[in-house]
Amino acid sequence: MKGSHIQKTLEDKVKRLAKEMFDWEMNKPVLISNRMKRTLGQYVWIINQDTKRPELVRFQFAAKLFRDGYSEEDIELVIKHELIHWYTDTIEGRPCHHNEIWKANCRRFGILDSRLVDLENNKNRQDYKWRYQCTNPKCGVIYNRYRRIPKNYVCGKCRGVLREHPLSSVVRPI
Ligand SMILES: [Zn+2]
Ligand SMILES: [Zn+2]
């Protein structure tokens, strides 16, 4: 696939997800960077000098995300992680980074609320195959498991509903 084609596909995907998730139009640049080595995605923002609020400049994604065998789900997870940064900062009117509000929004949109969505640590991960996160916003505890757990299992701490994440799709956005 040619680079320009990948870029266009990615840009369309970012726009579509912004629309689906928040009903927002995303019309800032979406770039693919060869220089991003340790991270897969980035939400670039500035403080608008008039409003004093964070403002989206662009999204950028590592080129390796499109050539190193990442699945569609991996790519979508990275995009959602970055979109939720944009959404949270815009709604809150201040940079939230990976704070509790950002985490609550991740749970709301069904993605892991961890910045350690991490592929490079595959080796340290002891080959867990599944990760479960409690959907109760007050709990949010994460369980790693070698085997898939039955659907009717609930959170051991709060009896909340668990959301399942296959660990093949664990990647590292920032
Ligand atoms: Zn829980
Ligand atoms: Zn992040």
Residue 68 lies inside a defined structural domain of this protein: yes
CA of 153 to the centre of ligand 1 (A): 11
Mean pLDDT of 18-38: 93
CATH number of the domain within which 7 lies: 3.30.2010.10
Residue 174 lies inside a defined structural domain of this protein: no
At 15, is the pLDDT very low, low, confident or very high (cuts 50, 70, 90)?
very high
What range defines the domain where residue 146 resides?
A: 3-169
Residue 105 lies inside a defined structural domain of this protein: yes
pTM of the model: 0.69
Q: What secondary structure, in 3-state letters, does the chain show? A: CCHHHHHHHHHHHHHHHHHHHHCCCCCCCEEEECCCCCCCEEEEEEECCCCCCEEEEEEEEEHHHHCCCCCHHHHHHHHHHHHHHHHHHHHHCCCCCCCHHHHHHHHHCCCCCCCCCCCCCHHHHCCCCEEEEECCCCCCCEEEECCCCCCCCECCCCCCEEEEEEHHHCCCCC
Choose the weakest-confidence range: 6-15, 45-54, 103-112, 162-171: 162-171
Neighbours of ion ligand 1 (CB under 5 A): 134, 136, 139, 155, 157-158, 160
Point out the ligand nearest to the CA of residue 42: 2
Residue 117 lies inside a defined structural domain of this protein: yes
Choose the weakest-confidence range: 8-22, 31-45, 48-62: 31-45
Residue 61 lies inside a defined structural domain of this protein: yes
Count of domains forming the chain: 1
Point out the ligand nearest to the CA of residue 137: 1
Point out the ligand nearest to the CA of residue 43: 2
CA of 152 to the centre of ligand 2 (A): 31
Residue 121 lies inside a defined structural domain of this protein: yes
